[in-house]
């Protein structure tokens, strides 16, 4: 068994090497390699296949199309690896369409909370926001230290400031006071907070409540946004919801659950959650 410290070091070096090679090989070759990785994982990763199939059953009621999840995921890996090596024009060309951009435009120079999910490519969405000039602060689930510094090369490429989950809340409040955007991915409860149990389709999950708390305590509106690839190694479709100002924690969670479920039902094969975090019931 590989020691934890060595495994972490190997992961960092592999990530660093992948970033370096991506700049040398170019996008087409990177896509070919990640496509191969997707097919290998599709054949070999029994546990993750089981999780993806369960996601489909509980969200959609059947497993039809589950295989594409791995292909789309590795396609987004290729896009993510290219970000340190491309310019703004490359990012702009990758966007096929943005529905609801006018809702974000209305908040230029004003504070806004942007809530998303592990749907499509949050890294790419963060860089689209940066290219469009919607600068702000995003929270990321990454370890500190050397790995975090490698990760920043991707997410901060076009002006977004990244803070780790631990101890993030005061910095988010400060960003709101500075009239910036705050970006939160809120479909997985990765922090130590208790979270809130929601129903998605036929299943129950626990989600973080940080976005709701921040909105209620600062009086800042929220929007739901995501960016999904419309084909493997192709362009992206981005969707931005109208702004909403919740009146209570229950109201905020109900708003988020509705947007999240509609997006997941439409794009189930682009929801990249490979851990079984479904609960046994609403009281779990």
- Residue labelled with tokens 């682009």: 270
pLDDT given at position 152 = 66
pLDDT digits (tens, 9 = 90+) for 96-134: 999 999 999 999 999 999 999 999 998 888 889 999 999
| Tokens read off for 254 | 């109900």
**Rounded distance, CA 192 to CA 40, Å?**
34
Each residue's pLDDT tens digit, 188-245: 987 666 899 999 999 999 999 999 999 999 999 999 999 999 999 999 999 999 999 9
Q: Which residues contact 33 (CB under 8 A, 6 or more apart)?
A: 25, 78
Q: Are strands 222-229 and 236-240 parallel, antiparallel or unpaired?
A: antiparallel
**Which single residue is written with the structure tokens 């809120």?**
186
pLDDT of residue 151: 65
Average pLDDT value for residue range 147-165: 74
Sign of CA dihedral 28, 29, 30, 31: positive
Q: How confident is the model at residue 143 (pLDDT cuts 50, 70, 90)?
A: low
CA dist 92 → 125, 132, 162 (Å): 11, 9, 21
In the chain, where the domains are located: 4-270
- Helix, strand, coil fractions of the chain, as percent rounded to 5: 50, 20, 30
What does the alpha-carbon distance between residue 39 and residue 223 come to, in Å, rounded to a whole number? 35
DSSP 92-127: HHTEEEEETHHHHHTTTTS-EEEEE-SBB-HHHHHH
Residues 50-80: pLDDT tens digits?
A: 999 999 999 999 999 999 999 999 999 999 8
Other beta carbons within 10 Å of 86: 18
Rounded CA-CA distance 237/230 in Å is 6
């Amino acid at each position: 068994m590989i020691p934890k410290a060595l495994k972490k070091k190997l992961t960092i070096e592999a990530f660093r090497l992948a970033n370096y090679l991506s700049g040398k090989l170019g996008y087409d070759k990177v896509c070919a390699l990640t496509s191969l990785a997707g097919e290998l994982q599709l054949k070999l990763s029994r546990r993750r296949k089981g999780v993806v199939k369960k996601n489909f059953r509980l969200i959609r009621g059947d497993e039809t199309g589950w295989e594409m999840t791995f292909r789309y995921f590795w396609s987004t890996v290729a896009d993510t690896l290219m970000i340190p090596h491309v310019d703004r024009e490359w990012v702009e060309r990758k966007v096929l369409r943005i529905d609801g951009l006018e809702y974000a435009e209305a908040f230029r120079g004003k504070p806004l909370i942007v809530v998303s999910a592990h749907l499509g490519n949050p890294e790419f969405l963060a860089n689209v926001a940066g290219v469009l000039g919607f600068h702000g602060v995003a929270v990321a689930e990454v370890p500190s230290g050397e790995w975090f510094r490698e990760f920043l090369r991707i997410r901060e490429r076009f002006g977004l400031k990244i803070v780790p989950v631990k101890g993030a809340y005061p910095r988010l409040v400060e960003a709101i006071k500075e009239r910036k955007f705050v970006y939160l991915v809120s479909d997985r409860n990765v922090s130590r907070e208790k979270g809130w149990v929601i129903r998605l389709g036929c299943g129950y999950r626990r989600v973080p409540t940080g976005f709701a708390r921040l909105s209620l305590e600062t009086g800042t509106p929220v929007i739901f946004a995501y960016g999904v690839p419309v084909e493997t190694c192709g362009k992206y479709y981005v969707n931005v919801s109208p702004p909403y100002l919740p009146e209570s924690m229950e109201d905020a969670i109900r708003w988020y659950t509705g947007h999240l479920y509609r997006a997941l039902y439409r794009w189930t094969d682009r929801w990249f959650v490979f851990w079984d975090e479904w609960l046994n019931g609403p009281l779990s």
